[in-house]
Structure 1
Amino acid sequence: MFAIVRTGGKQYRVAAGDKIAVEKLSGEAGDKISLGDILLAGDGDKAQDVNGLTVSAEIIAQERGEKVIVFKKRRRHNYRRKQGHRQSLTLLRILAVGKEEKKAAAPKAEKADAAPAAEAAPKKAAAPKKAAAKKEA
């Protein structure tokens, strides 16, 4: 399965196992990231729906590209400018192209954690109200 993703203003055709160099992304070597802006996906020569699709990748390294020399000159005017540029790049290894994994257990745990927090919040709010009532009396 392949996908066409957009990152850093450029588009890349990726499949599982590919290595690509993209514009600098935040993160360190070994971090796993998800490329979310998927333009097209397919298997073989057939296109598929991109809703719910993600491309997961691992950062291999943070590097700098080759030096590009920018040289400007205007003849007979003694005008010469030389400038170099090295672009910061992130090397990625594409791990998988596929559907998002739904985590059914995680929302239940959040609801269970939210209930005790909700009970604790009114108790904290009730204590200052009682203290304020004592001050008024």
Structure 2
Amino acid sequence: MKKLLIALFLIAGSFAVQAQELEWQTDIQKAVKLSEKSKKPLLMFFTGSDWCGWCIRLQKEVLKTPEFATWAKENVILVELDFPRRTPQTDEIKKQNFELQQFFGIQGYPTVWFATATKDKTGKISFTQLGKTGYVAGGPTVWLDGANKIIKKS
């Protein structure tokens, strides 16, 4: 019985580790390089991580699940664009996030934009918007179905 409990604990732990292994970019320049290299679109998560209840709920119900982790590794480059109230950020990140918020016309949180991006010789980034979503009730299966519809159109 003890071995069975240990085995179950290890299996459950591996799912938690898999969800935590995701790498969320916060630097759009780096994210665009990864996107161009991998030919994967960007998933840009506009969030208020320390105050937005719907953002926290989206994280818990979808973005921190093993199903999402598996899907994300195969399909997108993850970018978190955070607008916290209590968590400190550098001035560069604040400026970058504000500019992207303005470009994508973010009016509420959470908003998730899917886009492709290219950088020209001068370093200027051009985005092609594929579509957007936000919190969707129903867990990872429902949310990922909507995300797949957006990225498959591209």
- Normalised to the residue count of structure 2, the TM-score between the two structures is 0.25
Richer in helix (by share): 2
Q: Give 1 or 2 for the bigger CA radius of gyration.
A: 1
- TM-score using structure 1 length: 0.27
